[in-house]
Amino acid sequence: MIWLRLTVLVTLLSACTHAIVTSERQPAQSLEYRSCQPIQEQMIQVRAVDFGRLEKNFKNVKDNVFKNHCASCHFGPDAYKPQLDDYTAALEYVDLNSPEKSRLLQSVEKGTMPPSYPLTNRDRAAVAFLRAWVLDGAQR
């Protein structure tokens, strides 16, 4: 009986959250990316996101994609570029004339970001939501 209760509890918890790997780095010091910097990985729990219910705007991209997968390197005043917690700074990496050529989208979809564990491997729904936001004009 205890095994059944434990199994149900674990199943319920896993339905509500999923684990992700984040990377912690030294501040960027005005450099775009330094691959030689040591990366310290840690597991954190984030809530599962129903991207189909979200409006495609920067606030939702920031809160549900960038915060969960990019914040350790790309948030804050000493962040690696692009600084993804600021709409204007993030928009510098989005090509509104040719959205498919946006550096932000290409780096995520090619699996180069995040470098320690690409977003394409861990959360395809987040990648699809980011893509839809960029293709829809990267609305604020």
The string of pLDDT tens digits covering residues 55-69 is: 999 999 999 999 988
Of the candidates 32, 119, 25, 28, which has an alpha carbon nearest to the alpha carbon of residue 68? Answer: 119
**Alpha-carbon distance 87 to 115, whole Å?**
22
How far the first Cα of the chain sits from its last, in Å, is 51
User: pTM of whole model > 0.75?
Assistant: no
- Segment 115-125 shows an average pLDDT of 88
The lowest-confidence range among 10-19, 44-53, 74-83, 108-117 is 10-19
